[in-house]
Amino acid sequence: MKVCVIGLGYIGLPTSVMFAKYGVDVIGVDVQPHVVDSLNNGEAHLEEPGLQDFLDEALANGNFKAQLVPEPADAFIIAVPTPNNINDNMSCDLTYVLQAVDNIIPYIRKGSTIIVESTIAPRSIEDYVQPLLEQNGFTIGEDIYLVHCPERVMPGNIFHELANNMRIVGGITPSCSEAGEKVYRTFVKSKIVKTDAKTAEMSKLMENTYRDVNIALANELTKICNDLHINALDVIEMANMHPRVNIHSPGPGVGGHCLAVDPYFIVAKAPETADLISRSRSINSSMPIYIVEKVREIMEMVNGRTITIGGLAYKGDIDDLRESPALEILEMLKSEKKYEVRAYDPYVNHSENAQNLTEALGGSDLFLILTDHSLFKTINDEDTNRMSNKVIFDTRSIVRNVPEDCECINLGSIHNFLNNAVLNV
């Protein structure tokens, strides 16, 4: 089997080299020449555990090559970005998906399977992709097979989840679903559920929307509890002791290519009825402002000027900056003008980055942890001994060990810190 993957980003590249590992002839296509050159030279342009090893193996076996244009193939997998449109409802921008479909049309042959993995709004396959293919003379379900199979992986664990997560294959016709299942059965060890395209589209969106709504509940609870001088983290821990309760953890906001983007695709399709989803997005989007407000209060209490941000990626132990609330918070604090703002993230190449944590914290008044990198779980004396004020604001609630002379606060205890600071003035 020969597979042509369009888009060599966080999903397309791991998917390509996974197919290659299982003996499939894979052509990876990307519009960026430096990405193509880097991959063909054996250098992965993304950070993901195991990715470099998979790429090395694929190149050594001759099962993968990257290029700027597609080739004829048995299956085409489209894994390009689907950003939000800049409009009132932040609807799904299908520009890259439709461009990718248009670009593969000259290379599609009878019996080819076209799979869209990109996360898309409900009915996008039926209303936009299918007509584009039919306008070019193809009969879906007879000449070619059209499928939506949403990616369902977590950065940092992609290769395990590609093989072991259940997959949803939504075809325009039952024969399309059957064709899609045959493609993924190459390496998927778990169950493959066949359905129609629009159900597959909505199922992926609801997976992420469920989590976004749950996080919004935790974030709103945090605000309420801080107003009432109650530790929200204790409340969540106790509530989750109930066998049918699973409240997520609060944090500085929601990032990544899924949770911060996908719920809007549903809202845009049903703006008058998606009230809960829309409100949850607003709550989570408000968290960077809330964190900055609390940072202002902390800095006023300690009479501080220098802030060190720990982590810029949207989640721990990866380099992904997409929709990261840490970047938003960084820019807001820099715009205050009254603070010197530094950052340290060993996974990210960023202009604000210090060389190491000790350097980043030297002379700092506040260590603001915004990403749950494993290295921030334990803070050592050598890291903090040069801080001007030894205060840590852990917005991810991950720190387990700190030096005795440090004050470590989180979203559950910040009300106590601020209240005690007022009483001690």
| Active site (catalytic) residues | 204, 258
Cα separation, 208 vs 214, in Å, equals 10
CB under 8 Å to 205, separation ≥6 — which residues? 119, 121, 122, 262, 263, 265, 266
Cα separation, 283 vs 290, in Å, equals 10
CB under 8 Å to 322, separation ≥6 — which residues? 255, 256, 257, 314
Q: Are strands 192-196 and 64-67 parallel, antiparallel or unpaired?
A: unpaired
| Residue among 379, 361, 373 nearest 320 (CA) | 373
Q: Give, as one character, the DSSP assignment of residue 14.
A: H
| Helix boundaries (H) for 245-389 | 262-269, 275-302, 325-335, 357-361, 381-384
Element (H, E) at 342: strand 340-344
Cα separation, 11 vs 162, in Å, equals 10
Q: Give, as one character, the DSSP assignment of residue 140.
A: B
Question: What DSSP letter does each residue of 41-105 carry, written as one string?
Answer: TT--SS--TTHHHHHHHHHHHT-EEEESS----SEEEE-----B-SSTT--B--HHHHHHHHHHG
Cα separation, 215 vs 95, in Å, equals 30
Element (H, E) at 134: helix 130-135
| b/e sequence 47-78, b meaning 16+ C-beta within 10 Å | bbeebeebbeebbeeebbbbeeebeebbbbbb
Measure Cα distances from 278 to 220, 256, 282, 405 in Å: 14, 18, 6, 43
